[in-house]
């Protein structure tokens, strides 16, 4: 399940950041490496919430700095 979640989140990040899916590695830093600003952060968060039908707690949003952290969070929310 984690693999399909990872692929889904990668696609969301790639689309919002305007990069190719392959460029996103588990530890790619969203802010530093992909220029994700606050508007794009909300865009990614909303897209993840819609796709996986989960609700990310506001205080957890800043914890999403990398793809790996996003996947871990969604896996945890779906468990």
Partner 1 sequence: MSRADANIYDAVIIGAGISGLVCGCFLAKAGMQVLIAERHSRPGGYCTSFKRKGFVFDAAAHSFGSYRDNGNFHRIIRELELEQRITINKYDPADIVITPDHTLTFWADRDKTIQEFQQVFPDEPKVREFFTFMASPRPMEIVALRHKSFQELLDQYFTNNRIKAILSYPLFGNSGLPPSSLSAFTGAKIFTEFIGDGGYYPEGGMQELPNAFAHKFQELGGVMKLSSPVVRITVKDGTVSGVVLKTGETIRSRQVISNCDSRQTFLDLLGEQSIDQRVIAKLNTMTPSLSMFIVYLGVDHTFGALPPAGSTLWYLPHYDLEKLYRSAKSSSETDLTKYLLRVAPDGKSVLAMASASFKDKHYWDDNRSNLLDLFIDNIQRTTVPDLSKHVIYKEAATPYTLYRYTGNSEGAAYGWESTQQQFMDPDFKKPSFIQGLYLTGHWTTYAQGLAGVAYLGYDLAISLIRKGKTGKI
The footprint of partner 1 (CB under 8 A) covers 12, 15, 17-20, 23, 37-39, 41-43, 45-47, 50, 55, 58, 61-62
Residues in the chain: 79
Supply the minimum distance, in Å, between the C-beta of residue 79 and partner 1.
22
**Which residue, 15 or 27, is less far from partner 1 as judged by CB?**
15
What minimum distance in Å lies between the beta carbon of 23 and partner 1?
Answer: 8
* Tally of CB atoms within 10 A around 51: 14
Cβ(17)–Cβ(36) under 8 Å? yes
Q: How far from chain centre, in Å, is Cα 27?
A: 12
């Amino acid at each position: 399940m984690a693999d399909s979640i990872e692929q889904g989140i990668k696609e969301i990040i790639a689309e919002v950041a305007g990069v190719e899916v392959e460029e996103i590695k588990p530890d790619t830093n969203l802010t530093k490496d992909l220029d994700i600003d606050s508007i794009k952060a909300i865009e990614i968060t909303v897209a993840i919430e819609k796709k996986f039908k989960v609700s990310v707690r506001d205080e957890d949003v800043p914890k999403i700095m990398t793809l790996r952290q996003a996947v871990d969070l969604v896996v945890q929310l779906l468990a």
